[in-house]
Amino acid sequence: MDDADLIVRYDGRVPRYTSYPTAPHFHAGITSAVYERWLAEVPVDAPLSLYLHVPFCDRLCLYCGCNTSVVRQDAPKRAYALNLMHELERVADLMGGRPNVSQIHWGGGTPTSLPADCLVTIMDRTRARFHVLNEAEVAVEVDPTVLNAPALDALRLMGVNRASLGVQDFDETVQEAIGRRQSFAQTEAAAEALRGLGIGSLNLDLIYGLPHQTSDSVARTARAALRLQADRIAVFGYAHVPWMKRHQALIAEASLPGPVERLAQARTMRGVLEGEGGYVPVGLDHFALPDDAMAVAARARRLHRGFQGYTTDAAPVLIGLGASAIGMLPQGYVQNATAVPAYSAAVKQDGLAVARGVALSEDDRLRRDLIERIMCDLEADLPALARAYGADVAPLLADAAPLTGFAADGLVEWNGTRLLITPSGRPFVRNVAALFDVYLQHHAATPRHAHAV
């Protein structure tokens, strides 16, 4: 089957499965009061992961799908930092004790757009209220063009040991069309400065499917990225959702590569990263050097998928802090108010800002596990999984019926109980996961997602 036929058959709109149930199915019935109860019930010895969201940037890239806005004045940033700290203290009070933290991730937006002293103070308070383990990963997302000396100093004082640099594409025509000027030299200087601080672990983000990209141009970007010698490279497909992100409407749709071209671009980048760079593919959209912890976890079937995409973090509890941040507790998911004013007002009132969430049923847990294993391991044994949950495998096998068609198209190997995604099926792994998503199957009013490929 050629690519055009595959696209016709499988390029529906499916979620990225960074959670299950996915965020569009969170509802307002989960409130800060529910979250308070859930936090108090978390076992004291459960390892935690913390996510801190900073919804500010110095520039607005036209393709951006993140929850952020351009803010340049100091005062609103300082006010936000105070609210973040207030929320952190409230969560710590509710949990009691000094819980162990195995991972901290600062995301955004651009975390270093907060004043340097605010970043350091928040991290100091985090270490005061939580026991951040010596071996904990402390990661931060970095925009290489705005990484100045005070920000670097803050990262050092914060004990950051992993940095993720946004690149997207090095081609000037593409950069012009996406409103993101960033030279290779700037990016290289940022990588060197971070390494100079002793931050040994670097990730890069690249995107295909952007305006004016071609297979040749993305191959050049991927080759340039190899020169930066990052441990991990994420290659995201551009999610064009102008009905949700209005600024994306400034990108002319006629300049966007079509679905067949997108698939070719993803393959080309994969060829460069694997064939010339020696990276190994991890899940749907990551590449890692073979001895990197993420590649090791993937081989050992210990990879996980969370709101930041693929992760080696196995902590059963994720505390999300800041506007739009999502938390995962044994009882379910919670998400904070998205807009900064609503978040700030809620935190000022009672220290928490949950706007929506979902409690997990037993069926949700089973399907969440199955979808995570499909997304991470690219294989799953349905009866074994059902047994582990003491559940009947029949509904899963019924959902799996379309796999016969996927197998005929060369995307999976399927023997009636065990599925394995083939190398050519990897770009379609979300379509396989979606078969087991009851919310997608049975809820008519499912919101629109970006293209599958």
Ligand X SMILES: C[S@@+](CC[C@H](N)C(=O)[O-])C[C@H]1O[C@@H](n2cnc3c(N)ncnc32)[C@H](O)[C@@H]1O
CB of 364 to ligand X, least distance (A): 27
Task: Report the residue number whose CB is nearest to ligand X.
Answer: 166
Verify binding: residue 174, ligand SF4, rule CB under 6 A.
Answer: no
Nearer residue to ligand SF4 within complex by CB, 209 or 332:
209
Verify binding: residue 83, ligand SF4, rule CB under 6 A.
Answer: no
405 to each of 74, 401, 408, how far by Cα in Å? 56, 8, 5
Would you call the peptide bond into 24 cis, given omega within 30 degrees of 0 as the criterion? no
Nearer residue to ligand SF4 within complex by CB, 49 or 248:
248
CB of 87 to ligand SF4, least distance (A): 21
Verify binding: residue 64, ligand X, rule CB under 6 A.
Answer: yes
Q: Give the C-alpha separation, 355 to 335, whole Å.
A: 6
372 binds, among ligand X, ligand SF4, none (CB under 5 to 8 A by kind): none
Verify binding: residue 109, ligand SF4, rule CB under 6 A.
Answer: yes
49 binds, among ligand X, ligand SF4, none (CB under 5 to 8 A by kind): none
Verify binding: residue 166, ligand X, rule CB under 6 A.
Answer: yes
Q: Give the C-alpha separation, 256 to 265, whole Å.
A: 12
Q: How many residues bind ligand X (CB under 6 A)?
A: 18
199 binds, among ligand SF4, ligand X, none (CB under 5 to 8 A by kind): none
Verify binding: residue 141, ligand X, rule CB under 6 A.
Answer: yes
Verify binding: residue 314, ligand SF4, rule CB under 6 A.
Answer: no
Q: List the one residue from 14, 42, 48, 64 that touches ligand SF4 (CB under 6 A).
A: 64
- Stretch near ligand SF4 under the rule CB under 6 A, chosen from 52-60, 95-103, 374-382, 422-430: 52-60
User: What mask of x and - would describe binding to ligand SF4 in positions 122 to 151, judged by CB under 6 A?
Assistant: ---------------------x--------
- Binding residues (CB under 6 A) for ligand SF4: these are 57, 59-61, 64, 66, 68, 108-110, 143, 166
